Chain A
Amino acid sequence: MIRATFVAIALTLGLAHGAEAMEIKEVTSPGGIKAWLVEEHGLPLLSVSAAFRDAGSATNPQGREGLAIMLGGLMNEGAGDMDAAAFKRALESHAISFGTSADTDAFYLAFSALSEHKDEAFRLAALALSSPRFDGDAVERVRSQMLVAQKQIEEDPESTAGVLFNELAFPGHPYGRREYGSVESVSAITRDDLTGFIAARFARDNLFITVVGDITAEELGARLDQLFGGLPANATPHGLSDVTMAQMAPMTVIQRDIPQSVVMFGAPGLRIKDADFMAANVMNYVLGGGSFASRLMTEVREKRGLAYGVSTFLLPNNFTGLIMGQVATDNARVAESISVIKAELERMRNEGVTDEELTNAKAYLTGSFALRFDSNARIASQLLGYQLDELGIDYVVRRNQLIEAVTREDIARVAAYLLDSGKFGFVVVGAPQGL
């Protein structure tokens, strides 16, 4: 028995076409597993994207930092009766792209295949999820990849700045720990840690699924049970709780002999569900989120040639929110970049946005929304994000209305508490002069 609910989103874009509709169906499998489906039969392709919420790096056990990402590297390294080489050969023989990965808050499983290889794609994905092998040589192989990745992060100034920022912003909270772990923590990870993580964190109550492409609701229902039916009903409690970014030192410098200093800065922000999130989103567009339309790009890049790129962005996690930004400027001039950025934070805090800026921001944010849905891959990524954030299947309809509802007063109010310069911490990697 397949139940399907329907919501149509109307992206009113094309004058000639009138309202365009993309239909999102909620499919419930015979076994009770739910997925969002966008049927698209114009191409003989299928993409399945799934996520387990609260199964990312933030749920790594203490002393096992790196576990979730390492697991992400291991789930295509052999399953069932196939060792790593056989499993990869089976995927390639059917041109199936299959991958697993972890970010801070979630663990992801995704695959795509041509319609003609659909059976094999679901079979192999189900096998990887239900019976990953974690052979000794595969575990050591991926462990070495983790150690190499740690070195590459250390070598990259932006990654170095990001790691340090998290440590300073979230001392004692899992968000402050290194996602790729340390030599010690990665060396300590055992096969039992891997299987234990799956047993604890992969369940039906924290599972979200988006399917886009050449498949019907009826067929998908049975496939969902094949893929996810073996999962336990509930994940174990994750033990995470809300956290606010700590008060950091205003300026922290990591000396490094590179010609250009890389700067990362941030302050406490908002989570998606906060009532002010959309106002903050519109404000951020004007400040530094709007690429060449933003104030920071105009002041830092266009007028002064201080940087190739400068931006701010909202980073809403499950248990905290941040407003962050970054810039990179040659050592001799980086102090000027930082002072221009601080002045712009202050200006936004004190003056908010003009009517014209608000109108322009809304025009971009609402007008460009349809660009997020111009390929199966983009649709899948958007919709899975909405599911993880529990925005509801009608969010695609409501989203532009939420933006239109934002007023200058909303932005002034939000800017007043978000852009308090005393709350911002700056991290600089390089050999900055004059800081």
Chain B
Amino acid sequence: MIFCDCFRPGPFMRSRIFQAALAAAAFFLAPVMARADFAAETFTLDNGMQVVVLPDHRAPVVTHMVWYRTGSIDEPAGTSGIAHFLEHLMFKGTDEIPPGEFSKIVARNGGQDNAFTSFDYTAYFQRVARDRLELVMKMEADRMENLVLADEQVLPERDVILEERSSRIDNNPGSLLWEQMMAALYLNHPYGRSIIGWRHEMATLDREDALAFYARFYAPNNAILIVAGDITLEELRPLAEKYYGRIDARELPPRLMLADPPALLARRLTLTDPRAQQPSFTRLYVAPSYVTASGNDAYALEVLGQILGGASGRMNRILVEEQGIAASASAWYSGDGLYDRTIGFSIDPRPESSLEAGEAALDALIADFLANGPTEEEVTRAKTVIMADAIFAKDSQQNLARLYGVALTTGRTIEDVEAWPQRIGAVTLDDVRRVASAYLVPARSVTGYLVPGAVQ
């Protein structure tokens, strides 16, 4: 069954056209395994821009992406949403490309383009026939240094991002609750700020805010070029040098990296909303990311997420199949991030059940897991699924490019990506028990109830 995944919003994108593909990409959470014919190759331009090539010669098509190491976490106070707003404005032209023409030129060349913004990164991409690669490289390099903005384009686009916020968040009680839960989960770190921005601040964003953010973060030494598809490193290198290599590196002020104080207590939120029809339960625990984790904790958390949340995992088996409390129940680990991320749980109670019964069943499930741990068979099965996902992910050049982009902008290396399946394979039952005990701790959590009904 496919239900709304509004409780796990992905990065925000410029166009809704691409949402279906984004949802599909979310399936491939796992980075990839190296194979001779699909192996990543990399080099760095003189100006510090890293270049990654992911050859896949099955079709005469390439995916060209430029990732900037900046996202919503870098937004100055009072300008939430500026990273995403700038992403929209990057399509508004340069001296070479008139306003609104960027995507039209890509389309006239049989290509598709879009962009997306998340906490730690902002990325732009085009999917084109291989003989159009040079064209899009030229255009992408041009807007890295030559963006031109006028209020005539900026102000209508600000209305567009406000409409985008309405569509994604304000029209949707589940998304509103999610946004509030994230704000409660992070006491100080900007992961608690909505990526798309708080409406009252978005409404004040202007051309100067956008250009200041652009000037600070959009530089070749803060960017990564990833080209996947029908291309080799030898073919790409001269093009990368020609278009990106001539852009001067700039001094980058250090990013402000905040951290949260220790959380002392579990937090609970209830959103009662007459627009909600189906009650739902969500719980988030702060957990280390691949970068902030010590030892192999992140890999063990990945296995834990699968043991709890897989199709034959404990949430589905116990809450849905055995106890019949939930119509659906899931669990996941989100490990991509420069700062600590989350372990999450969600439950849609059956019509005859309740949020309270769902929460009690989840607490019992966690208590049992902490007391007794997983079985060897569960650990083996979870690892089998995760390692296979790493191979399935190679089917799509677009997903593969995203996997590398996310990894490289959240503090990992190509070596980390390629060693990922082996590291998953090395996770032991004791590792899983250890991370469950360390991170499934009430004080690290926020619990959210979405309750249909009139506001009291």
Q: Tell me the A residues contacting B by CB distance below 8 Å.
A: 11, 13-17, 20, 22, 40, 42-45, 72-73, 84-85, 88-89, 91-95, 97, 101, 112, 114, 137, 140-142, 144-145, 147-149, 151-152, 154-157, 256-260, 262, 290-293, 298, 301-309, 311, 328-330, 360, 363-364, 366-371, 373-378
Contacts and interface: CB of A to CB of B under 8 A. Distances in A.
B17 A309 contact: yes
Contacts of B110: 13, 363-364, 366-371
Given A141-B324, A305-B160, A259 B108 contact: no
A157 B171 contact: yes
Interface in B16-53: 16-17, 24, 37-38
A114 B104 CA distance: 39
Contacts, number: 230
B341 interface: no
B197 interface: no
A376 B396 CA distance: 8
B296 interface: no
Contact of A144 (B131, B158, B170, B350): B350
Contact of A307 (B37, B163, B348): B163
Nearest to B322: A85
B64 to A, nearest CB: 13
The winner among B157, B392, B395 for most chain A CB atoms within 10 A is: B395
A258 B275 contact: yes
A377 B394 CA distance: 11
Nearest to A328: B167
Leading 6 A-B pairs by shortest Cβ distance: A367-B110, A305-B159, A95-B388, A305-B156, A151-B278, A292-B103
Given A17-B60, A145-B1, A155 B16 contact: no
A258 B104 CA distance: 33
B395 A45 contact: yes
Contacts of A112: 392
Given A22-B59, A148-B350, A374-B58, A43 B103 contact: no
B107 A43 contact: no
Given A13-B129, A85-B312, A92-B385, A371 B351 contact: no
Given A11-B60, A292-B15, A374 B229 contact: yes
6 contacts: A17-B60, A152-B4, A292-B15, A292-B91, A292-B100, A376-B395
Nearest to B129: A13
A72 B127 CA distance: 33
A26 to B, nearest CB: 21
Interface of B: 1-4, 15-17, 24, 37-38, 58-61, 91, 100, 103-104, 107-112, 127-132, 155-164, 166-167, 170-173, 229-230, 274-278, 310-312, 316-317, 320-321, 324, 327-328, 348, 350-352, 381, 384-385, 387-389, 391-392, 394-398
Contact of B351 (A89, A97, A148, A259): A148
B163 A375 contact: no
Given A14-B60, A151-B277, A305-B159, A84 B321 contact: yes
Q: Which of B38, B158, B159 has the most CB of A within 10 A?
A: B159
Nearest to B400: A375
A370 B61 contact: yes
A302 B132 CA distance: 26
A360 B160 contact: no
B156 A302 contact: yes
Contacts of A101: 2
A13 B58 contact: no
B104 A293 contact: yes
Contact of B163 (A72, A147, A305): A305
Contact of B16 (A16, A308, A369, A371): A308
Given A15-B131, A258-B275, A291 B111 contact: no
A209 to B, nearest CB: 19
Contacts of A13: 60-61, 110, 129-131
A20 B57 CA distance: 11
B391 A114 contact: yes
A45 B163 contact: no
A192 B60 CA distance: 50
Contacts of A14: 60, 129-131, 230
B311 A91 contact: yes
Contacts of A305: 155-160, 163
A363 B350 CA distance: 51
A45 B160 CA distance: 42
A400 to B, nearest CB: 10
Contacts of A91: 311-312
A148 B327 contact: yes
Nearest to A156: B4
A89 B381 contact: yes
Nearest to B351: A147
A84 B127 CA distance: 41
Contacts of B327: 141, 144-145, 147-148
A360 B101 CA distance: 13
B438 to A, nearest CB: 26
B391 A45 contact: yes
B58 A306 contact: no
Given A114-B391, A152-B4, 5 more contacts: A16-B131, A92-B310, A144-B352, A368-B107, A375-B397
Contact of B160 (A157, A301, A369, A371): A301
A420 B160 CA distance: 29
B60 A370 contact: yes
A93 B60 contact: no
A88 B311 contact: yes
A374 B104 contact: no
